[in-house]
Amino acid sequence: MSNFVKSKKRELVVIVAICIMACIFTILNPIYMTGKNFLSIMQQATINGILAIGMTYAIISGGIDLSIGCTFAIVIVTVGKMTVSGLNPVLAIFLGILLGAAMGAINGLLITKMKLQPFIATLGTMSVYRGIAYVVTGGWPVLDIPDAFRTLLSKRISSLGGVNIYMFIFFAVAIVAGIVLAKTKFGNYIYAVGGNEEAAKLSGVNVDRAKIKAYAVTGVCAAIAGMIQLASLGTGEPTAGSGYELDAIAAAAIGGTRMAGGKGTILGTVFGAILLAALKIGLIVLNVDTFWQYIVTGIIIIIAAYFEFIQEKFASIVAKKEVK
Amino acid sequence: MSNFVKSKKRELVVIVAICIMACIFTILNPIYMTGKNFLSIMQQATINGILAIGMTYAIISGGIDLSIGCTFAIVIVTVGKMTVSGLNPVLAIFLGILLGAAMGAINGLLITKMKLQPFIATLGTMSVYRGIAYVVTGGWPVLDIPDAFRTLLSKRISSLGGVNIYMFIFFAVAIVAGIVLAKTKFGNYIYAVGGNEEAAKLSGVNVDRAKIKAYAVTGVCAAIAGMIQLASLGTGEPTAGSGYELDAIAAAAIGGTRMAGGKGTILGTVFGAILLAALKIGLIVLNVDTFWQYIVTGIIIIIAAYFEFIQEKFASIVAKKEVK
Amino acid sequence: MGNAVEFKKINKRFPGAHVLKDVTFSVKDGEVHALLGENGAGKSTLLNILHGVYAEYEGEVLLHGNKVAFKNPNEAIVKGKISKVHQETNVVKDLTVGQNITLGYEPKKGVFVDYKELNNKVDNILTQLRCKFKSSDLAGNLTAGEMQMMAIAKALFHESKIISLDEPTTALTLKETDALFEVIRQLKKDGITILYVSHRLEEIFQICDRASILRDGQYITTLNIADTNRAELIRNMVGRDVAAVAGRTKSGIKQKEIVLKVEGLSSGRKFQDVSFELHRGEIVGFFGLVGAGRTEVMRTLFGADKKTAGRVFLKGKETHIKNTHQGLKDGIGLIPEERKTQGFINLQSNINNVALSSLERYMSGIFVDDTKRRENCEKYIQELEIHPAKADFLTSNMSGGNQQKVILAKWMSTDVDVLIFDEPTKGVDVGAKVEIYRIMEEIAESGKGVILVSSELPEVMGMSDRIMIMSEGRIAGELNREEYYEDHILNLAIGGNDNE
Amino acid sequence: GSKATEATQTVATDEAATEAQTEAVSEEAAAPSGDFNPDEEAGVSIEEIRESNGAVPVKAGTKAGVVAKAFENEYWRTLKEGYEAGAKYITDAGFEVSVDVQAPQGETDEQGQLAIVNNMINQSYDMLLLSPISDANLTPAVEVANEEGIPVLNVNDGLIAKAPYFVGPKAYQNGELAAEWISDKLSGEGQVAIVIGMPKAFAARQRTAGFEDWMGSNASGIEIVAKQNADWDRQASKELAETWMQQYPDLKAIFCNNDTMALGVVEAVEEQGADIIVVGVDGIGEAYTSIREGKLDATIDSFPYYKAQIALECGLRAMAGQDVPRVVWTPQALIDSTNVDANAEEIINWTPAEYVAE
Ligand SMILES: Nc1ncnc2c1ncn2[C@@H]1O[C@H](COP(=O)(O)OP(=O)(O)OP(=O)(O)O)[C@@H](O)[C@H]1O
Ligand SMILES: Nc1ncnc2c1ncn2[C@@H]1O[C@H](COP(=O)(O)OP(=O)(O)OP(=O)(O)O)[C@@H](O)[C@H]1O
Ligand SMILES: [Mg+2]
Ligand SMILES: [Mg+2]
């Protein structure tokens, strides 16, 4: 039980940070605290959030996946092409998820079977996947995605004040990913492999399989995020998603995921993504000069990461007190 | 002695890879194997090479520096402004190096004193530094860099068949950085800190200072690379260098630098950069479709990284044979 | 009684080393069988072969008469019902005890891990072992002794019939050791065969039935413990007679000058108000139970941790040590207790590891001179009889005791005035132990102050001019040689505060 | 002045030419037209609109929201200045209007740009003038704006199929102008190469296609020997040029999809002392300077400063319910040493609009 509270401490810190930020923004411009704006924040957080959830799997397993933005792009254009050619939208979504899983698994295979360092392996596939997305489309966007597909994944629900359906998908992904990570054997193995690969191996955990699966999850999340973007934009571009990997990593890190692996939660990552979105929208609402936005964003990332350290210090003091 | 050969084995592998690649390109287009083209390769390896040398320091120390592209940009615009305002070019170069060192040291301070994870700390400063480069210039390029500065760092020496002076700077940086890493106390400490930080600390190594210095070197290399680009283009753009960090990491990794720290050589990194440049030029010479270039580049990165593994296996087999 | 394990002509080669040579012997069902030998004799390697860590070797391993060849440790655990408690415990610190124990074999309910069932099962085993921690505790918060118990619990969880313990007591307190022996006797009663590796011979006499001895990778003999004695064991291990007791050979080397004076040193909650003096030529022992805070005091003195109060005087001058680098410069050195994680740089050779703390000694101009470094390293390899005697060897590939010697060489290469030994003989063989005692004495004789932190009472009593006893972060007592009584010392260590 | 005007081809009003070129558009260049390709539309110039619709009706208190691609690029900063100048004209004419120009963090921040537009819709701007990063990234916001009846003008160069209006220059013609000029200088003989921007970008494609098609049908003696991507980056294009100069010693001209890349190529050419014609696109200040110094040979200026004013004017007309065509062409002209010092307003025959209260 105390374990539970302790493990949620990190998320509480992020929530406090979000609240402080929101207050400052609201004081500076009251528009910030409106329902519509809140919706904007959540929408903005969706795609990065889902990508970051996947990234969290890769990072906890002791790796990283730089290729997610490109997996995202490949899924966008291939699913785009499938729906345009009249494939059943549900089937297309299914195939898209499969594709994402396959591309993630390729990363996993490179890392486990060829023993490549995750950073380099996915730096390589990042380039390969991007190239594939271009070659598949000849560089052209895939246009006129059918509404049947679009409304499945992206639809403003007016009866709920304009909430978009994909926000629910975001929550669903977060819940499923969170439960899998926290409650299943597979989740357990990922923590074990990231925390102490040698120990996991000696315990009979199939380390390779756990890693491959982790990257597959990363790929699946990228695929889901991609299809949401495809649905919401109605056009699939092979250039989509470039640079998204860094945002995803930032969200995971802010949410308390340890870059060396073995530690992190989906809840934390989700709040990390929300924090970044809230920050971005805040800067836009305040009409902060773009150039200054870079500076402020960077500083906030640093401060948020510093919280991790403060909070760990704090936790260790508390823990010591409990002992006495 | 055998240690020397063993420690150079990695570099030999990269050289072999470069040769194989060069042969293939030459067969496909004989232009590839001309002296002039060779010069092109070396020249184009320069900027990435110098950045990668700096990156190697950060990585060996157990970290990473994502902000080098942005340090690069800040140095470009500030040194640009200084020279335009008539400052003595040599003094400007000196100040540029100092600036690079300071920005690297800031990364080092965040990582050591605030205990941030290097990836996140430099992800933050990456954004901050980029913003500063924009704010300083208002987004405008710095134009009309005086020739006095330009010829100091970038000048074709016709008597040497058109070799550009900056190639010598590249070699000089590589030699100095290589010797410092291999032969000085500081270099020893970096390896120790990256290999096992706690053990290094308990051996009386000033871990913080070694890391801060390592990042300062990274910053200095970024500054030198930036000034070379400034001199060669005659214009300083605040957008310069974006994405360069990944190329630098790729060069270091191909050259055998261990991403987790503690292992790597400057020579390896230099060959890694040359391999990437040779590949890039080869694809241009063959007029390969841009989209396919992405794919080929990615595959080459993966294969080159795989050599690391093959070579280690090979080394251990050889060692076993020696016993028998 | 049949044979639980049979080794037949086992050979093992590593790059650059032939480690096991035609090893042949057997272990009887249900006995506690000791595996003895000097550092680097090949004990761990043999166990690794038995447990499937190394799948590549020559020769045959038989379990209960059947030839086995496990591809990995897990197969050994599950198929062979044979578990190993590691020399360096393998723990995933961010998982709970239960998760660690059941890792790979968690009970499931549907697709989820059944944590209720899991914790129940594990708590049962833990109660059986009389452990104080629970299945739901975070493994990272356990002490070394508790982690060891966790590993045994894991073996029981897998219903192992054969359990190997590779130096299980190195990190344990006396109390924990006693508890462990109790458990081993219990296991033996339950018909479980135990392979036991230790450098502490008194333990062998306490719990083992027979002992097999390896020397230099070769099998020497198997002895009945009841029919042998300490000297015979040592002679077989070392190949000659060694007086393997901790004791001083020189007297009167303590000098007048106080080299280190500590006044009211505190560090938050870790320890408070520690004061003592250390003379040149003196060896001061620090005794206490695990968790008494000795290591923390030493780390703080050296500059690895921050102090919150107190003053430290070195050679009569107050010092403000902010980090280890300054500690080294001011003349304090520390040989850390966790050899593997704190002692040396994994990827580096002996040359580099030995030279790391004294690089300024090998400079020519601004460069480190490799020849000088090598010479220094080779000098110590000879002097300390480091094996294998190769300067280029990776320290991480050496046996535990030899790693310790490399770390010693590193500190002997410096010219610190105060050298702190934190559990210096942990996992070190009898011969080397004596060696280390001799070196320690020589260092003191050369006019340095030596602090010996140890949990082995005979060692502290034998080596120290004075003993400081710590309990719960405070100095509980200070005894001079003539006041050394085991009971008194232990009493102070357990509840020193009550006596004051 | 007049000579300069003559040498320049102010094609925005040349209807016949427009038609001819529309036919010449190749299959490849037409590919993005699944919905909409402005280069294929019969666009109208602002002069024509003024002729048929008269003065610009202004509703007092109008709040225009402008979202540019990225201020990191001079082109977009100039566009911003143009919008602000336009707003000042209107305010000086006695009408109270405000124009807010925002941009995301860099040309890859697609989500950020979308958030900016959403925010403008949330804050009830009266019209939106959008230059999207990609052809699609603003679609969701545009759909909402369309629903809420906020006029959306797509100002080049991303394409928003769902926006009712497009204002911009004809990208295809860009390439044609460059091709014609180069062919002229080379007397229709020799090797040329093309440095393309990001391979995806509409502008990059159309400029390249226009160039290739024109050469293909009008200058058989010209051989396009190489075509490579340099990601709009100066250093990358310089390196490309260096390699090409080794590979093709007879290279006579290089056409670059924008000025930044052209200036990189110029550096390479200068360094080697080679005699290669370099032509860029955009007309940034640095390009003008370089032409004056005799380094860069020509650029095709699409006058963002005036384009912005035209866009704002069209927006006001659309708000007032006037009939604004689907595509409004903005002027562009080739600038070389002959007209580099000429007044831009003269080159494109610019006259400010007249305003009346709505
Ligand atoms: N990976 C390796 N490469 C090369 N040599 C190795 C490797 N692992 C072990 N060795 C060598 O094998 C020998 C036996 O080592 P082992 O660990 O079995 O000794 P041990 O008897 O357990 O010693 P200790 O009591 O110190 O633990 C040592 O000389 C060691 O240097
Ligand atoms: N790295 C660590 N992580 C968690 N707990 C630790 C760590 N190091 C020490 N501890 C705990 O802090 C307490 C004080 O340990 P310390 O090592 O100072 O005691 P000690 O008297 O030196 O005991 P030992 O006999 O183990 O050396 C112990 O409970 C120990 O388990
Ligand atoms: Mg051993
Ligand atoms: Mg201790």
pLDDT confidence tier of residue D115, bands split at 50, 70 and 90: confident
String of DSSP letters for B45-103: HHHHHHHHHHHHHHHHTT---TTHHHHHHHHHHHHHHHHHTT--HHHHHHHHHHHHHHH
Distance separating alpha carbons of residues A188 and A182, to the nearest angstrom: 7
pLDDT confidence tier of residue C249, bands split at 50, 70 and 90: confident
Which residues of chain D lie closer than 8 angstroms to A285, CB-CB?
Answer: 119
The ligand whose atoms approach the alpha carbon of C19 most closely is 1
| Contact status of A239 with chain D (Cβ, < 8 Å) | yes
Distance separating alpha carbons of residues D179 and D295, to the nearest angstrom: 19
Task: Note the residue count of chain D.
Answer: 358
| Residue A314 pLDDT > 80 | no
Query: Which of A5, A9, A203 should be substituted to probe chain C, the one whose Cβ sees the most C Cβ atoms within 10 Å?
Result: A203
Q: Which residue's alpha carbon is nearest to atom 18 within ligand 2?
A: C293
Phi, psi (degrees; rounded to nearest 5) at D9: -110, 95
| Contact status of B291 with chain D (Cβ, < 8 Å) | yes
Q: What's the pLDDT tens digit per position in D62-95?
A: 999 999 988 888 888 899 999 999 999 899 888 8
* Residues of chain B scoring pLDDT < 70: 1-8, 315-324
Phi, psi (degrees; rounded to nearest 5) at A269: -60, -40
| Residue C87 pLDDT > 70 | no
Is residue B180 within a helix (H) or strand (E), and if so which, with residue range?
A: helix B165-183
The CA D214 to ligand 1 mean position distance, Å, reads 76
pLDDT of res. B160: 81
pLDDT confidence tier of residue A320, bands split at 50, 70 and 90: low
Buried b (16+ CB within 10 A) or exposed e, D320-357: beeebbebbbbbbbbbbeebbebebeebbebeebebee
Q: 0.90 exceeded by the pTM? A: no
CA distance D33 to chain A (A): 9
pLDDT of res. A288: 87
Q: Which residue's alpha carbon is nearest to atom 13 within ligand 1?
A: C40
Q: What residues are neighbours of ligand 4 (ion), with CB under 5 Å?
A: C 295, 337
| Contact status of B303 with chain D (Cβ, < 8 Å) | no
Nearest to B116 among A117, A299, A306 (CB): A306
Chain C residue with the nearest C-alpha to that of A202: C73
How many CB pairs below 8 Å do chains A and C form together? 76
Contacting chains of D (3 CB pairs or more, <8 Å) are A, B
Beta bridge partners of residue D120, listed in sequence order: none
8 Å CB contact of C78 and A204: yes
In short, whether C456's Cβ falls inside 6 Å of ligand 2 is no
| Contact status of A314 with chain B (Cβ, < 8 Å) | no
- CB–CB of C131/C147 below 8 Å? no
Range name among C131-145, C198-212, D7-21 with the lowest pLDDT average: D7-21
- CB–CB of B219/B105 below 8 Å? yes
| Residue C395 pLDDT > 60 | yes
The CA C179 to ligand 1 mean position distance, Å, reads 29
Dihedral, CA of residue A143, residue A147, residue A149 and residue A154, to nearest 10 = 100
| Contact status of A313 with chain C (Cβ, < 8 Å) | no
Beta bridge partners of residue C219, listed in sequence order: C214
pLDDT of res. B179: 96
In short, whether C291's Cβ falls inside 6 Å of ligand 2 is yes
pLDDT of res. A1: 40
Whether D contacts C, i.e. 3 or more CB pairs less than 8 A apart, is: no
Q: Shortest CA distance to C338 belongs to which of C295, C385, C377, C301? A: C295
In short, whether C91's Cβ falls inside 6 Å of ligand 2 is no
Greater confidence (C121 vs C73) lies with C121
Segment A28-46 shows an average pLDDT of: 86
Strands C317-319 and C309-314: antiparallel
Q: C3-91+142-238 in CATH: which number?
A: 3.40.50.300
Residue A20 structure tokens? 């402080």
Which residues of chain B lie closer than 8 angstroms to C357, CB-CB?
Answer: 203-205
Q: So where are chain C's domains? A: 3-91+142-238, 258-493
String of DSSP letters for A184-241: SHHHHHHHHHHH-HHHHHHTT--HHHHHHHHHHHHHHHHHHHHHHHHHHHS-B-TTTT
* Rounded-to-5 percentages of helix, strand, coil across chain B: 80, 0, 20
8 Å CB contact of A290 and B134: yes
SS3 for C14?
Answer: strand
Q: C258-493 in CATH: which number?
A: 3.40.50.300
Segment A128-138 shows an average pLDDT of: 92
Q: How far is CA C359 from CA B82, B188, C374, C493, D78, in A?
A: 41, 9, 12, 40, 59
Q: Which residue's alpha carbon is nearest to atom 9 within ligand 1?
A: C397
In short, whether C295's Cβ falls inside 6 Å of ligand 2 is yes
**pLDDT more than 70, % of chain A:** 94
| Sequence letter at residue B147 | D
- CB–CB of B276/B246 below 8 Å? no
pLDDT of res. D109: 81
Chain A residue with the nearest C-alpha to that of B137: A291
Q: Which residue's alpha carbon is nearest to atom 29 within ligand 1?
A: C40
Chain A residue with the nearest C-alpha to that of C78: A204
| Contact status of A113 with chain C (Cβ, < 8 Å) | no
Q: Do domains C3-91+142-238 and C258-493 have the same CATH topology?
A: yes
pLDDT of res. A186: 93
Nearest to B126 among A116, A124, A298 (CB): A298
